[in-house]
Amino acid sequence: MGRSLRVAVAGATGAVGLEMVKTLEKRNFPISELKLLASARSAGKTMKFKGEDVVIQEMTKKSFEDVDIALFSAGSSISKEYAELFRGNKNSVMIDNSSCFRMDDDVPLVVPEVNAEDAFKHNGIIANPNCTTAIMCVAVYPLHKAKGLKRMVASTYQAASGGGAKAMQELIDQTADVLAGKPAQVNVMAQQIAFNLFPHIDSFLDNGYTKEEMKMFNEARKIMHMPELMLSCSCVRVPVLRAHSESLNMEFEQDITPEEAREIIKNAPGVILCDDPANKVYPMPIDATDKYDVLVGRIRQDVSRNDKKGLEMFISGDQLLKGAALNAVQIAEVLNR
């Protein structure tokens, strides 16, 4: 790891911000000064970092005057408001977890296991991908490098954590209410989530897809440098607290067997092979929770084809870690090599 840096976490009290702080500590990122920034109502409170109390400060534009790296997880409107402090700035970098800069031509969209070199092409801002996209790309990219991905159909099983801390609490509250014979109160998510699931994450577009589904389509193409990748997604919210799962159907340019795929996954960064169905070993969100790596399993030949160019697999990854906080810290690590 390189030199000690002055680091700010914008939105430090949110679900992802909290994980960013924990991840910086767990990975022993070299920090000479840590600023924890949030709204005025949180200012003055403290958070633990390496056994010490760090006072949370109200975020203002002056907060970033002496910062090397700023990890942003405060929402798109805040990111847009502060972006000009970093754009073109050679001394400070914004690593942004919102969606607002991901498709900008001058902003790299980075998953370090896939396109770490893109981080060095930044103009002051680097974007963190959508959570489902990051989890998917980590698992799929090593197979693509070996066999040439051509087409993919993804179905997601996305936890309440994707909607933030309030969505997670709504799942808990609704579950308790239903079990007590009370009606579930829907205040945060689009529908009742307790004992239910629904194919509605973000708003619907004119083509019938949701913004979440099109994020996966566009972002995967950019991250993997595959502008012509054929990709279709259906994104579904499920009654799981944390960690997203995805079912992936993939078509490759070259023949690929499940045995070959397992060997590729075994030797790839950021993934763990969990593929022994006979012994009930397969990816599950309960096992992916709090894990840095994406779990990959249920690898099998696509029986709908008469060749060996198709594979099915199932993956699970922690939305708050690889899907957000961990990926942002990994980008910072790349910059500080």
User: Which domain CATH number covers 68?
Assistant: 3.40.50.720
**Per-residue buried b or exposed e for 40-65, using 16+ beta carbons within 10 Å of the residue's own CB:** eebeeeebebeeeebebbebeeebbe
User: Which domain CATH number covers 170?
Assistant: 3.30.360.10
Q: Within this chain, do residues 79 and 178 fall inside the same structural domain, yes or no?
A: no
Cα-based torsion angle of the residue sequence 36, 160, 157, 334 in order, rounded to the nearest 10 degrees: 0
Q: Within this chain, do residues 36 and 173 fall inside the same structural domain, yes or no?
A: no
Q: Within this chain, do residues 180 and 116 fall inside the same structural domain, yes or no?
A: no
Q: Within this chain, do residues 118 and 155 fall inside the same structural domain, yes or no?
A: no
pLDDT score for 1: 62
Q: Within this chain, do residues 43 and 91 fall inside the same structural domain, yes or no?
A: yes
Q: Within this chain, do residues 119 and 195 fall inside the same structural domain, yes or no?
A: no
> Active-site residue 131, yes or no?
yes
> Active-site residue 100, yes or no?
no
Q: Within this chain, do residues 94 and 123 fall inside the same structural domain, yes or no?
A: yes
Q: Within this chain, do residues 38 and 116 fall inside the same structural domain, yes or no?
A: yes
In the sheet with 230-237, reading across from the earlier edge strand, the strands are 230-237, 149-158, 244-252, 310-317, 294-301, 271-273
The ranges of the chain with pLDDT < 70 are 1
Token reading at 257? 């067997």
Among 144, 235, 244, 274, the one annotated catalytic: 244
Q: Within this chain, do residues 23 and 164 fall inside the same structural domain, yes or no?
A: no
Strands (E), 179-293: 230-237, 244-252, 271-273
Q: Within this chain, do residues 149 and 188 fall inside the same structural domain, yes or no?
A: yes
pTM of the predicted model as reported, rounded to 2 decimal places: 0.96
Among 122, 131, 144, 233, the one annotated catalytic: 131
Q: Within this chain, do residues 279 and 137 fall inside the same structural domain, yes or no?
A: yes
Tokens 């340019």 -> residue: 253
Q: Are 290 and 226 in contact (CB under 8 A)?
A: no
First-to-last C-alpha distance (Å) of the chain:
5
Q: Within this chain, do residues 91 and 142 fall inside the same structural domain, yes or no?
A: no
Count of the separate structural domains present in the chain: 2
187-234 pLDDT tens trace:
999 999 999 999 999 999 999 999 999 999 999 999 999 999 999 999
Domain range for residue 269? 133-319
pLDDT score for 90: 84
pLDDT-above-70 percentage for the chain: 100
